[in-house]
Amino acid sequence: MLRTMTSAVILSLAIATGAALAQTPPAPAPTTSPTSPMDKEAISKSCSDQANAQKLRGKERKKFRRECKRAARKAPN
């Protein structure tokens, strides 16, 4: 009787463990908002136009465009 109970417990634990391991993990959440190449191109063009309007050149222009593109990617759609 004790041997049968022990076997039943071990068998049920093996089945439960196998079922738990067989489940697929959830898909990871995206870390950034997906942007298509056309969206990126439009953002870059817009930031370049803004830099041109402000007549920025050199390091100031690069810094402005970098911050502008970063802000545009983080902005809600």
Per-residue pLDDT of the chain in tens (77 residues, 90 and over written 9): 878 878 887 877 777 776 666 666 677 766 555 578 888 999 999 999 999 999 999 999 999 999 999 998 887 65
Report pLDDT for 37: 84
Distance CA 44, CA 30 (A): 22
The residue assigned the tokens 């009787």 is 1
Q: Which two tokens stand for residue 70?
A: 């970063």
Q: What pLDDT was estimated at residue 66?
A: 95
User: Distance (Å, rounded) from C-alpha 42 to C-alpha 55?
Assistant: 20
How far apart CA 26 and CA 16 sit, in angstroms, is: 19
End-to-end, the C-alpha distance of the chain in Å comes to 67
What is the pLDDT, as a whole number, of residue 53? 96
